[in-house]
Structures are given as C-alpha cells and as structure tokens.
Amino acid sequence: MTFSDAQVLGWIEAWFWPLVRIGGVLATAPVLGARVVPARIRVALAVLLTLALAPMLPEAPLIEAFTAAWWFETVKQLLIGVAMGFVLMLVFEAVVLAGELTAYGMGLSFAQLVDPLRGAGTPVVGQLLMIAGTLLFLASGGHLRLIEALATSFQTMPVGTPGFDLDAFHMLALWGGQLFVGGVQISLPVVIALLLVNLAFGVMSRSAPALSAMSVGFPIALAAGLLLLRFSLPTLQAVMEQLLDQAFALIGQLIAQPTAGGGDV
C-alpha cells in the first residue's frame, strides 16, 4: 500500500492546524496558560485536546507546506487561539487591578509578591484576590466553558475560512476597557470605606496632633481593610461571574463565521 505526498500532507495538516489554535489558547488563557504550569504540561495538554477534537472537525484544505499561504494560515490559527485566551486573561487582570487599588487604601502598596500566574510583581491584596478569582473560575467551570468554546470555534470558524475582520479587532480593543471597569467595580466598596476611615483619622490627628500617622493610622487602616475585604468577597464573585459571562459572549462573537466582504485579516 502506497500513499501520495498529498495524502500524507493532508493527514499531517488535519492535526497540525487544530494544534496551533489550541496552543495559542493555552499560551494566553488564565490558569491553564499560567507561567506556574510547566511548558511540557501545556504542550501535553494541547496534544491531548488535539487528539480529542481533531477527529470531529471539518476537513481542512490542503496547503503546500512552508509556502506563503501555509505560513499565513499558521499565523491566522495562532491569532484566533491567542485572542480567545486574551479575552479571559483580561478578566483576571481586572481582579489584580482591584487588588492594587485596595492595597493603596490599606497602605500595603509597598508589599509586593511575585505572582506565579502572571510572572510579575503584585501587591499581596491582589495576590489574595487572584487566588480567590482562580478558585471561582474553576468552581464555575470556566475551564470547561473555554474548552467548549474552543471546540465550537472549529465549527463556526473552520480552518481555511477568513480570519478575524476589522470589527473583531475593534471589539477586542473595546474589551480592554472592561479591565478598568471590572477593577473599579470590585474595589469600589472597599476603597470608599477606606477613604472614610482615613478621613476620620485625619480629623482625629488634627484634634490630637500627638497621634502618629504611622503608629496609629496604619494599623487602623490595615485592620479595617482586612475586615472590609472579608465582606467584599460576595462582590468579587458577582462581578467576576458577570465579567466571565461577558467574556464568553465576546468569544462567541469573535469566532462566529465572518460575513463575506467584511475586511478580513
């Protein structure tokens, strides 16, 4: 039994294109694509997802390897995956921003830790909220919804179809504003309460100049901030669930079949 070069190339590309898109998602998606997860684990997970999804996908067009069209299709599949993971990553960045805003009011902006999920310095309050957000993401089945959206993307935007159009990039740019909106929504109750605490201590220090801002004000702000964080966790859950629903709705719009003549990229 002999096989032609075209047949062998078709079999390889039937697995290669899904692997590229799945790899793009795992490179940027929260939790699954965190830096704390070893690269070998992410590669193994991408291969397993490819083995599970590839037999159910539409037949991919045959493109000669290492030509300009082949490289363009590779970049396009990678871009689709990276965009899907990027949308979800901004939800977690909003949680980190809320932690930073809260830490400034508590006087803990100088207390920095290396966040293993992001590979960057984060205030301890942001680290706490990030852990809580990660647990909420997993408990609500966010990772399963991401895999479901990934499988759906191969049906609505199969390999060989036009990629993102200009409207898709415009929606991604607008979604970046949700980082600041979500961060303010999560931190606003605590920030306002801490502002009132600091204002009250300012009045006390004016009436009693002997009170030291560092020896008395810092412990009060720290204790009040920790207490307020305890009661603000339901707000974190509500806002994060709302942001996740919006993120998956946006992913559904991005991977929808593009209309003809819509400025494809």
104 contacts 46 by C-beta, under 8 angstroms: no
Question: Do the domain assignments include residue 264?
Answer: no
Q: Under 8 Å CB-to-CB from 9, ≥6 apart: which residues?
A: 62, 64, 65
Give me the pLDDT at residue 263, please. 42
For residue 95, give the nearest of 195, 243, 230, 247 by alpha carbon: 243
DSSP string, the chain: ----HHHHHHHHHHHHHHHHHHHHHHHHSTTTT-TTS-HHHHHHHHHHHHHHHGGGSPPPPP--TTSHHHHHHHHHHHHHHHHHHHHHHHHHHHHHHHHHHHHHHHT-TT-EEEETTTTEEEEHHHHHHHHHHHHHHHHTTHHHHHHHHHHHHHHHS-TTS---BHHHHHHHHHHTHHHHHHHHHHHHHHHHHHHHHHHHHHHHHHH-TTS-IIIIIHHHHHHHHHHHHHHHHHHHHHHHHHHHHHHHHHHHHHTSPPPTTS-B-
| Domain range enclosing 107 | 5-254
Give me the pLDDT at residue 138, please. 92
Q: Extract the tokens encoding 126.
A: 């942001």
112 contacts 121 by C-beta, under 8 angstroms: yes
Instruction: For the chain, 265 residues long, give each residue's pLDDT as a single digit of tens.
Output: 565 656 666 677 788 989 999 999 998 898 887 777 888 888 899 999 999 998 888 887 888 888 888 899 999 999 999 999 999 999 998 998 998 888 887 877 666 665 655 556 677 888 888 889 999 999 999 999 999 999 999 999 988 888 888 888 999 999 999 889 999 999 998 989 888 887 887 777 777 676 666 667 778 888 888 888 888 888 899 999 999 999 999 999 998 855 444 444 4
Question: Do the domain assignments include residue 47?
Answer: yes
pTM score of the predicted model:
0.84
Q: Report phi then psi at 113, rounded to 5.
A: -130, 155
Question: Do the domain assignments include residue 262?
Answer: no
Q: Report phi then psi at 35, rounded to 5.
A: -65, -25
Per-residue pLDDT tens over the stretch 215-242: 677 788 888 888 888 888 888 999 999 9
Write the Ramachandran bin of 179: left for phi over 0, alpha for psi from -120 to 50, otherwise beta.
alpha
Give me the pLDDT at residue 114, please. 58
Question: Do the domain assignments include residue 265?
Answer: no
94 contacts 179 by C-beta, under 8 angstroms: yes
Question: Do the domain assignments include residue 261?
Answer: no
88 contacts 247 by C-beta, under 8 angstroms: yes
For residue 150, give the nearest of 255, 263, 17 by alpha carbon: 255
Question: Do the domain assignments include residue 263?
Answer: no
Give me the pLDDT at residue 213, please. 62
Count of the separate structural domains present in the chain = 1
Give me the pLDDT at residue 95, please. 92
